[in-house]
Structure formats: C-alpha cells, structure tokens
Structure 1
C-alpha cells in the first residue's frame, strides 16, 4: 500500500483487496520458479486488482464483432510490401522518434495512445522534429470511438485525417477522462492516409516496423501480462483476445534466437 500509494475507503475493501493481492502474489512467485520462462513477473500497482478489473480499467481496444483484427483499409496495398532489405535490428527510440512512455491511467483509451505514438514517430521521420501530440483531443473529439470506454486506432487515424491534423500535448493536455471537445487548437501534425499491415504476416510487420513505429493490437487480458516485470514476454502466453492497443517501436534478436519487438520500452517476442 505504501509503495504504490494505495488507499482504501474502509476495512472491508482493504480486506478484499488483500485477498486479491495474496492470490496475485502466489501466482507471481509460482511463475518465477519456472525455469523455462523467458521473462519475470513482480508485484506492481495492479496487484490488488482481478484480471477482469485490470482489463476493464487499463485496456480499451474495441474490435467490432466478426473481425479478429484491425482490418480497415485491408483492400489497399500495404505501403511497405516492397521493402527488400531490413536491418538485423531497429530501435526508433534511439532514432529520436519515440516520446517518453506515457500513462493512460484508469481510462480505456489505449487506442488514442497507440495512434498518437505512431503519428509522432512518422512525423519525426518525415519532418525531423519529435513533438508530443494530444491523446486528449482524440479522447474528446474522435466521435467514432467511445472515449474511456474503448475504441480503435484506425478510427483515431480517420479523425486526424478528417480534422486536418492533431494538436500538441502541451496545448491540449491529457485529463484521464473524456471532456468536451475543444476544436480551437491549431494542428501540429497531419496525416493524409494510413495502411493496414497484412493480417497474420510477421514478415510484413517486420518490414513495416523497419520503416516506422506501428500501431498494433494485442491480448492484454492474462494474469502474466498484468504482472509483467521484464525480459521477453514469450508467445506461448499470448492469446488472441485483442484487448489492448500499443505501438511497436523496434525489433531485434534475443540471445535465444527469437525475433523480439519493442513497445513502450518493453520487449516482446513475435
């Protein structure tokens, strides 16, 4: 409670949270005893939450029924499909195309953070300047999405295109909740289009990330994801229930020979 500044309204809530914490701690300790895992878990600020509570508060990807992924623009040719050579590794953070990691806090608008990070990256690559852009503008003004109740990155891109741009974080700062749309801010970045990486094609994804940071959807519903501490999150623990929008900002090869991708400063295998 002291470490993560947790305060409970009454003793009954404290007792119930303690039971959840003990269950999560037991899971962490049991997991870390396994010798075949490529990553570690630890207690964190989510350890007094159930898996369902964690997903409800901190995820926010809403995938339409009948689709398994983000499939807008799927009939349009993939922008980087003809890339012939890619390096053994890429880290867009080292290239200055990634802002410091941001925190959405308990508002299910991962879709806005994912979209903004991708636009920030391509603007740096195209224009030479890294500018922190406004997730709050998307949260308030992207009416195709559902604010803190979830959304999709492609609909966020649609808003930026149709609105003729998005403003800066400084001029329209993040409030952790949906507010009234303020359309008076001038645009700091614009995009004219976006493309979708070919579904279930890791080579295509690798080509895309070699050229720019890429918005992607992952399954963030599992207990291991909630308690993740470090190293490479292995694919056997990755499900297909797409619930979280993130941005891939690089890739490389692990010591074990797995291709790993970096997102928000953390490594994942693909």
Structure 2
C-alpha cells in the first residue's frame, strides 16, 4: 500500500491493515476467477480498509435530508426524447475538470455539486472554473460538512450566497472549518436555481444530454469499493450513501449501455477516477439507484 501513500501509526496497526488487505486481495482473486463479468476489480487505495470503514470515511450522502428544490420537473419541454444523442461525454467537450480527491471527509455532496456548477458554467460561458468544495463544507449550514450533505444543499447555498469562490481563493482542507466570509464573498461562478430530475433513466438521459448532473448513488458494496474498470453491474450496497456526477453516457464495444460518472476518490480508483455503470437496467431507479435522486444547477 506504500504506492498509495499509506502509513500506519504503529506495528499493531500495520499488522491489522495487512490482514484486511489480505482478505480484500482474496476477494479480488475470487471475483476475477469467477469470470464472465463486464467489469474488473483490483487493488486500490481502499484495499487496506474493511467495507464498513470505507463507507464511513469515503461517502457522505444524507438521503434522509433531501430538501425541496426551487422547482421540480422533467426536461421534456427543453430536450425532447427524440433529439437526445446516442452518446455524450462532457469530459471530451471540456466541461469537466480533473478528478479530485475528497480524502477521509464525507464531502462527496460538495464535490458533486461543484462539478455540476463548473460544468454548466463552462457550457454557458466557455470558461471552466475550478471552484471551492471547502467553502461549502465550512459555510453551508443546511449540510453537515464532513459528516455529509446533499448536492441540493450546496446549490441552495450557492444561490443564496450569490455565488461560490474559486479553489485558489478557498482551498480544500478535507476537514470541517469555520466559514471564512471574506473568501466566500469572492464569487468565481453563480447559478440562478436548481432543478430536481424526475426519477427514472429516461429523464436522467434528457438531463445529462444538456449538462453534467449530480446524483445520489449506492456505493457501499465491496465490488464498488474495488472497481477498476469496465461497465459496472455489481454489488452497490444497500442505500444511497454517496454523491457523484453523471458526465456522459454511451454504449461499450460489446453493446452494453452505460453511464459515465465522475467520482471524487482520486485518479487511482476506477478508470482514472471515473466509472462506467450499466444503463438501461430493469430497476426504475437505475443501477445503484443513480436515477432516483438527481439534480442540476441552472446558470
């Protein structure tokens, strides 16, 4: 685990982590030996964590605190189903910044919201800002900082604050801090409102065809923890506990439809920080529930 910068406080902790790593390694070997899967798992920066530790330290989506948005509805009046392209990738279109890492802070909600705001700002203005997650952690009183929150919390805060600062102005610390009002007043981007997407993959498709979209997702499964590539259709976990951004969709070479999601676990997880996850599943909520609580900002 040295390649991931992991250090341990004493020999006892190092031995405990070694034992956990060995169990996770066996899980990976067993999964790989089972064959006939559309995705792969492998060693990553979470391989010395139990699944419970992983969930506690690297998620942070509080679905039970879902607020009402300024208005709700589908995007059918803006983007008819027939006009939705077969595929889209907002990364390739220049509307997505480099992958970030939330660290051991349950701030996924802030990273998801910031990426969505960065995306719509680029689409509207041609300028892709790098915005501050830490401002949301410190200043958004609707959320709970590193203990969790929702992208909708963040959108509400940005609207009421009349904007959000840049990452350079208000840099990420990965811990709860006191709101710095002078930094928070230096807006680098603004939004007018936000909309909640009606549940279901069809409505999510219309939204993602327009811009990157924040979604809640069940990410607590061990297969999700160890994902290393391919189109994911494995163990998600039991409930929505994480927030990511859907930045595109398409179809793989073998004909499997997928969503492309941008995570906030650094570039060593998944496909350089991204995941392709199966699209067009039987569940009305989408794979891992990603089509059940989605929202997007309006600039």
In the TM superposition, what is the alpha-carbon distance from 1:11 to its structure 2 partner?
Answer: 1.9
* C-alpha RMSD of the superposition: 1.6
In the TM superposition, what is the alpha-carbon distance from 1:213 to its structure 2 partner?
Answer: 0.1
The equivalent residue for 1:221 is: 220
The equivalent residue for 2:74 is: 78
Unaligned runs of 5+ in 1: none
- Do the aligned partners of 2:231 and 2:276 also contact (CA within 8 Å) in 1? yes
Per mean C-alpha deviation after superposition, the further-off stretch among 22-31 and 77-86 is 77-86
| Equivalent residues, number | 264
Distance 2:70 2:250 in 1: 27
Distance 1:113 1:211 in 2: 20
The equivalent residue for 1:13 is: 13
Q: Which digits, 9 at most, give the CA deviation of each residue in 1:112-133, with x for residues without a partner? A: 0000000000011111100000
The equivalent residue for 1:182 is: 180
Q: Which digits, 9 at most, give the CA deviation of each residue in 1:83-122, with x for residues without a partner? A: 1211111000111100000111111100000000000000
Match of 1:255 among 253, 256, 261: 253
In the TM superposition, what is the alpha-carbon distance from 1:81 to its structure 2 partner?
Answer: 4.9
The equivalent residue for 1:24 is: 24
The equivalent residue for 1:205 is: 204
Distance 1:229 1:81 in 2: 38
- Do the aligned partners of 1:38 and 1:231 also contact (CA within 8 Å) in 2? yes
- Do the aligned partners of 2:71 and 2:194 also contact (CA within 8 Å) in 1? no
Structure 2 length-normalised TM = 0.84
Change (3 A) 1:225 1:20: same
Change (3 A) 1:18 1:140: same
SS of residue paired to 1:14: helix
Distance 2:253 2:238 in 1: 26
Change (3 A) 1:81 1:178: farther
SS of residue paired to 1:263: strand
1:40-119 aligned within 5 A: 40-64=40-64, 70=66, 72-73=68-69, 76-84=72-80, 85-119=83-117
Change (3 A) 1:159 1:75: closer
The equivalent residue for 2:138 is: 140
Whose strand proportion is higher, 1 or 2?
A: 2
Distance 1:34 1:56 in 2: 29
Distance 1:86 1:246 in 2: 22
The equivalent residue for 2:122 is: 124
SS of residue paired to 1:211: coil
Tell me if 1:154 matches 2:163: no
The equivalent residue for 1:246 is: 244
The equivalent residue for 1:268 is: 277
Distance 1:82 1:7 in 2: 51
Distance 1:222 1:71 in 2: 26
Change (3 A) 1:80 1:159: farther
Distance 2:70 2:21 in 1: 43
- Do the aligned partners of 2:70 and 2:194 also contact (CA within 8 Å) in 1? no
Distance 2:177 2:128 in 1: 26
Show structure 1 runs of 4+ deviating over 6 A. none
Unaligned runs of 5+ in 2: 263-273, 280-299
The equivalent residue for 2:196 is: 196
Distance 1:31 1:60 in 2: 27
- Do the aligned partners of 2:79 and 2:206 also contact (CA within 8 Å) in 1? yes
